[in-house]
């Protein structure tokens, strides 16, 4: 009988982050039957990363590969939680894992290239990526990675989050704490994936052309008019709730459905801020100039239906998953409000009960669509992973 892959996830809720992290290691070791060789963890942004790090390493073997980040809420075996440390532990015989990190800077494309510089030859088989989108442009970071590893190289992950203030996130790379840039886990060994992404949002405006875009993510004009003015007109009476209401009305890159009048949403971009002087919208990720855009919105029912659609898409024809990775935008949590745990109920009702699952509420998601990883926002993403047996 061959040596088995061991995979487990745990969530620990405790007022003391040091204790929570320490207990997470205890629980992982108990469930795996041995200490984890790889740990990926997501922890409440209410907790200081230093306490999390110290609690982890008080119990972990020095050779353990560790990456993680702060989150708005955590997704694990006990549901959607706040104020938790949620961790994935793995022992994958024959596999090799390498933790990567890079500080933030002005050129996000170059930062992406720098992040994977040490793993270009041989290339890994999977990259789990956790950027700080407050200091790097996730779209260009991803493009930099893809320029080195290939357009169809599988990248999964989510942007580290805080509790909704958009001020400071924290990243873990081994024993190092970063407050800018990105961390990643490069995994070497056979990996099979089935990934899906769905927002559930629908257009509430007519298609508008992005007639002027600056720096990839600053939308200056829509149909030749100031973008901010046009956006406010579309919001109607809800414009009085600016800027907080923007989280409910992201921008969608849309395409025409052949032979039909309606459009379909290809990609969602959150409105991260406004520039009143330039009458511009600052988006969370890049959009192509001249692209057709719509202002989007969703009800609670729409959000939950998007989650269900993504899970069913990922499950179709993929029966041997060993792990489910769930990266879900914090904007969806805002729309669901105090009922946000209903989204996890959808997850729990569809995924096999015995399947380990982990993730968090993010400031942006990274998931393949048609075999090419894209940077998403306001979207629920899921990746089912089968590791197989390394030679």
Tens-place pLDDT, residues 317-347:
898 999 999 999 999 999 999 999 999 999 9
Res 1: pLDDT: 43
Q: What is the pLDDT of residue 260?
A: 63
Strand-pair category, 292-297 with 208-214: antiparallel
CA distance 49 to 375: 25
pLDDT in tens, 105-134: 999 999 999 999 999 889 999 999 999 999
Q: Is the pLDDT score of 391 beyond 70?
A: no
Q: How far apart are CA 312 and CA 10, in angstroms?
A: 24
Instruction: Give which of 215, 123, 191, 201 is closest to 368, Cα–Cα.
Output: 191
Whose tokens are 């992290």? That residue is 21
Q: Given a cut of 90, is residue 354 above it in pLDDT?
A: yes
Predicted confidence at residue 390, as pLDDT, reads 63
- Answer for the pair 116, 186: CB distance below 8 angstroms, yes or no: yes
Among 60-64, 84-88, 110-114, 333-337, where is mean pLDDT lowest?
Answer: 333-337
CA distances in angstroms from 276 to 233, 279, 296, listed in the order given = 15, 5, 21
In the chain, what percentage of residues exceed pLDDT 90? 90
Q: Answer whether residue 193 shows pLDDT above 90.
A: yes
Q: What pLDDT, on a 0 to 100 scale, did the predictor assign at position 257?
A: 73
- Closest Cα partner for 136 from 174, 183, 94? 183
Residue 228 pLDDT more than 90? yes
Residue 137 CA to residue 144 CA, distance in Å, equals 11
Percent of the chain with pLDDT over 70: 98
List the end-to-end C-alpha distance of the chain, in Å, as a whole number: 15
Q: Are 184 and 128 in contact (CB under 8 A)?
A: yes
């Amino acid at each position: 009988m061959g040596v088995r892959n061991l995979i487990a996830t745990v969530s620990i809720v405790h007022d003391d982050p040091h204790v929570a992290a320490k207990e997470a290691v205890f629980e992982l070791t108990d469930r795996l039957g041995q200490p984890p060789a790889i740990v990926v963890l997501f922890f409440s942004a209410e907790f200081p990363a230093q306490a999390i790090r110290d609690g982890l390493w008080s119990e972990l073997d020095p050779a353990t590969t560790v990456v993680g980040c702060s989150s708005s809420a955590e997704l694990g075996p006990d549901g959607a939680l706040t104020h938790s440390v949620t961790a994935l532990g793995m022992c994958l015989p024959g596999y090799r894992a390498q933790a990567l990190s890079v500080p933030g800077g002005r050129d996000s494309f170059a930062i992406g290239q720098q992040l994977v510089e040490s793993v270009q030859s041989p290339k890994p088989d999977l990259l789990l990526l956790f950027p700080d989108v407050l200091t790097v442009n996730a779209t260009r970071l991803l493009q930099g990675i893809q320029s080195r590893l290939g357009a169809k190289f599988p990248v999964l992950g989510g942007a580290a989050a805080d509790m909704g203030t958009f001020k400071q996130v924290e990243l873990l790379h081994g024993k190092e704490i970063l407050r800018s840039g990105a961390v990643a886990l490069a995994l070497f060994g056979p990996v099979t994936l089935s990934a899906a992404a769905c927002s559930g949002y629908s257009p509430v405006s007519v298609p508008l052309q992005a007639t002027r875009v600056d720096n990839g993510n600053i939308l200056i004009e829509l149909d030749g008019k100031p973008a901010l003015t046009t956006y406010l007109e579309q919001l109607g009476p809800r414009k009085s709730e600016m800027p907080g209401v923007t989280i409910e009305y992201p921008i969608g890159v849309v395409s025409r459905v052949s032979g039909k009048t309606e459009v379909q949403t290809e990609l969602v971009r959150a409105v991260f801020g406004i520039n009143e002087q330039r009458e511009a919208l600052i988006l969370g990720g890049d959009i192509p100039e001249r692209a057709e855009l719509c202002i989007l919105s969703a009800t609670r029912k729409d959000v939950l239906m998007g989650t269900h659609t993504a899970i069913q898409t990922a499950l179709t024809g993929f029966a041997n998953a060993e792990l489910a990775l769930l990266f879900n935008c914090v904007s969806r949590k805002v729309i669901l409000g105090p009922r946000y745990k209903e989204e996890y109920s959808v997850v729990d009702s569809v995924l096999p009960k015995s399947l380990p699952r982990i993730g968090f509420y993010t400031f942006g998601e990274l998931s393949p669509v048609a075999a090419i990883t894209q940077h998403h926002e306001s979207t629920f993403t899921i990746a089912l992973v089968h590791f197989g047996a390394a030679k």
